[in-house]
C-alpha cells in the first residue's frame, strides 16, 4: 500500500454518519457603456441546505443530479449536428447544461426585490421569471414584475448584447430582443432581453443585461427564481461587470450550520504563497467553460500511467478536456483515466471491495466492524503549475449504517469534470486577466 506518507486516515464517527478528517483576458461587456466596477461578496446556499438530510441522502441526491448534468454536458457536443436537421427555433437553439448545486442571494429592480438564483459557472445568461407569465414554474418568492421597477429597460435587437445571444428573434411591434435558451433536460426560458439594477449584498450594479423570462418550461430550475451565469462569454455576470476576478469558497455539503461565499471583483481573494495556480485553456467550441490544465493523477506514491492527451482538448471538434464546474457534485474522469484510478486505488486500499452499488458510486469498500478509522491512499491532481493534494473528506464518503466507504468520483465518456466536492473548503480563484484558476485550502465557514 506504500509508505506511511502515502496514506491518510479516514476517521469514522460512532453515529450513523461517517465524517472524514483531513490528513497530515476575458470577453468584455457587449454594451457600449460598461457597468460600474464593484467588488462584493454574496452568500451561497447548497440547494439541499436546511432540508435535514443525512450525509448519505445528500450525496445520493447530488450524485443523481450530477449524472444528469454530466449527460447534458456530453450531449451538448451533438447539438450542432441536430441544428442542421431541423428549422424550428426551439430545436435550433443551442443546448446548455443548466441547473446547478448552489443558490445565490440577489435583489432585482428599483425598489429591489429579493430572490434566490442558481449560480452556474458553466453558462452565461442571467435570467429570472417575469410577469406577465405565459408559463412559469412555481418559485418560493413572488415573480419579478418589471412594470413596478423604475430601472427596467428592454434591449433592442440592434444592441450588441442581443447579438451575443446564441438564439434570438426580434419583436416586430417594438424592436425588442427576444431570447431563447434551451437546456439539456428539456427545460427552457424565453422572453425579452433587458437591463436592470442588480443588488448583491450591499452593492447595487446598474444596467446588467438579463433575460426577463415570460415563458419558462420544465422543472430543472424550480429550486430558484432563475440563474446567474458566471461563464466566460459576454452575457455572463463576470463579463458584463468587466471585473477580471471572482472566487468562491464552498463549505462541506453536509454542513447544516454554515453557508458558502462568492467573492466578486475587488473582494475576490488575491494570490497567496500557499495557492496552486494552473492555466485556463480556451475552447472555441464551448467558450463559456473553464478548462483546466490537468497533466496526471497520483494515488499514494504512484503516478498513474495516463497519457496527458486523455485530458487534452480535441482541436477538431472541441471534445475532451477537463472543466471545473460548481454545478457538478463529484469529479468525473474520462473512462480510461478512471479505470486506471480505480485499479490503483483498489490495489492500495486494504479493505474488501464492495460491489453492491448501494450508494451509486463505482469504487466502494466494506468497513470493518467497530472500526473508528481506516487507511486510504492519498490522492493528488497534478495540474500544470502544481499538484493539488486533496484532503480525505474531498474524495471519500462513508456510511456506517451501510458499512461502506466510497471514492466520490466517477467515469465519463469524453469531457472530464472537476466537481464541487473536490473543491470544498478551498478558496477557488478565477483570474481572467492571468487566465488561471488557483486553489488554496481555506476554512470556508470562517470567512
Please say whether the beta carbons of 97 and 122 come within 8 A: yes
CA distance 90 to 182: 7
Instruction: Count H helices and E strands in the chain, helices first.
Output: 6, 31
Q: Which of 48, 120, 159, 399 is catalytic?
A: 120
Scored b (16 or more CB within 10 A) or e, 76-106 reads bbebeeeeeeeeeeeebbebbbbbbbbbbbb
Indicate left, alpha or beta for 172 from its phi (over 0: left) and psi (-120 to 50: alpha). Answer: alpha
Residue listed under C-alpha cell 412594470: 147
> Does 120 participate in catalysis according to the annotation?
yes
What is the β-pairing status of strands 291-292 and 322-324? antiparallel
Q: Which of 325, 354, 399, 431 is catalytic?
A: 325
Whats the size of the chain, residue-wise? Answer: 447
Question: CB within 8 A of 172, min separation 6: which ones?
Answer: none
> Does 325 participate in catalysis according to the annotation?
yes
* Residues pairing with 6 in the sheet: none
Please say whether the beta carbons of 200 and 42 come within 8 A: yes
The H-or-E segment that residue 440 falls in is: strand 436-441
Q: Based on the number of CB atoms within 10 Å of its own CB, is 413 exposed (0-12), middle (13-18) or buried (19 or more)?
A: exposed
Question: CB within 8 A of 273, min separation 6: which ones?
Answer: none
Name the phi and psi angles at 322, rounded to 5.
-125, 130
Residue among 352, 298, 302, 296 at smallest CA distance from 1: 302
- The catalytic residues are 120, 325
Amino acid at each position: 500500500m506504500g509508505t506511511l506518507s502515502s496514506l491518510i486516515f479516514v476517521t469514522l464517527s460512532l453515529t450513523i454518519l461517517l465524517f472524514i478528517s483531513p490528513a497530515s483576458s476575458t470577453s468584455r461587456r457587449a454594451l457600449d457603456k460598461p457597468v460600474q466596477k464593484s467588488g462584493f461578496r454574496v452568500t451561497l446556499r447548497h440547494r439541499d441546505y436546511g432540508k435535514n438530510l443525512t450525509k448519505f441522502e445528500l450525496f445520493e441526491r447530488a450524485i443523481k443530479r450530477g449524472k444528469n448534468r454530466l449527460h447534458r454536458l456530453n450531449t451538448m457536443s451533438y447539438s450542432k449536428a441536430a441544428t442542421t436537421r431541423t428549422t424550428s427555433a426551439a430545436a435550433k437553439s443551442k443546448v446548455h447544461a443548466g441547473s446547478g448545486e448552489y443558490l445565490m442571494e440577489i435583489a432585482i429592480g428599483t425598489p429591489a426585490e429579493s430572490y434566490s438564483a442558481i449560480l452556474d459557472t458553466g453558462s452565461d445568461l442571467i435570467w429570472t421569471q417575469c410577469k406577465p407569465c405565459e408559463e412559469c414554474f412555481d418559485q418560493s418568492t413572488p415573480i419579478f414584475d418589471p412594470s413596478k421597477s423604475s430601472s427596467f429597460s428592454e434591449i433592442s435587437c440592434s444592441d450588441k448584447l442581443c447579438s451575443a445571444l446564441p438564439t434570438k428573434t426580434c419583436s416586430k411591434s417594438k424592436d425588442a430582443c427576444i431570447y431563447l435558451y434551451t437546456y439539456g433536460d428539456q427545460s427552457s426560458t424565453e422572453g425579452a432581453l433587458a437591463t436592470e439594477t442588480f443588488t448583491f449584498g450591499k452593492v447595487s450594479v446598474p444596467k446588467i443585461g438579463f433575460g426577463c423570462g415570460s415563458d419558462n418550461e420544465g422543472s430543472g430550475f424550480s429550486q430558484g427564481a432563475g440563474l446567474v451565469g458566471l461563464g466566460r462569454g459576454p452575457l455572463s455576470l463576470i463579463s458584463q461587470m468587466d471585473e477580471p476576478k471572482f472566487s468562491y469558497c464552498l463549505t462541506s455539503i453536509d454542513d447544516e450550520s454554515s453557508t458558502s461565499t462568492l467573492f466578486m471583483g475587488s473582494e475576490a481573494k488575491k494570490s497567496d504563497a500557499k495557492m496552486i495556480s494552473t492555466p485556463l485553456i480556451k475552447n472555441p467550441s464551448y467558450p463559456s467553460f473553464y478548462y483546466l490544465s490537468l497533466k496526471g493523477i497520483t494515488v499514494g506514491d504512484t503516478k498513474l500511467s495516463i497519457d496527458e492527451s486523455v485530458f487534452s482538448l480535441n482541436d477538431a471538434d472541441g471534445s475532451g478536456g477537463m472543466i471545473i464546474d460548481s454545478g457538478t457534485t463529484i469529479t468525473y474522469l474520462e473512462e480510461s483515466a478512471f479505470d486506471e484510478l480505480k485499479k490503483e486505488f483498489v490495489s492500495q486500499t486494504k479493505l474488501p471491495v464492495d460491489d453492491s452499488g448501494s450508494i451509486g458510486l463505482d469504487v466502494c469498500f466494506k468497513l470493518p466492524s467497530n472500526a473508528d478509522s481506516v487507511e486510504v491512499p492519498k490522492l493528488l491532481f497534478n495540474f500544470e503549475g502544481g499538484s493539488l493534494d486533496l484532503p480525505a473528506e474531498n474524495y471519500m464518503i462513508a456510511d456506517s449504517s451501510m458499512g461502506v466507504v466510497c471514492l466520490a468520483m466517477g467515469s465519463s465518456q469524453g469531457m472530464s469534470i472537476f466537481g464541487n466536492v473536490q473543491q470544498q473548503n478551498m478558496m477557488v480563484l478565477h483570474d481572467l486577466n492571468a487566465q488561471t484558476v488557483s486553489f488554496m485550502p481555506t476554512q470556508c465557514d470562517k470567512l
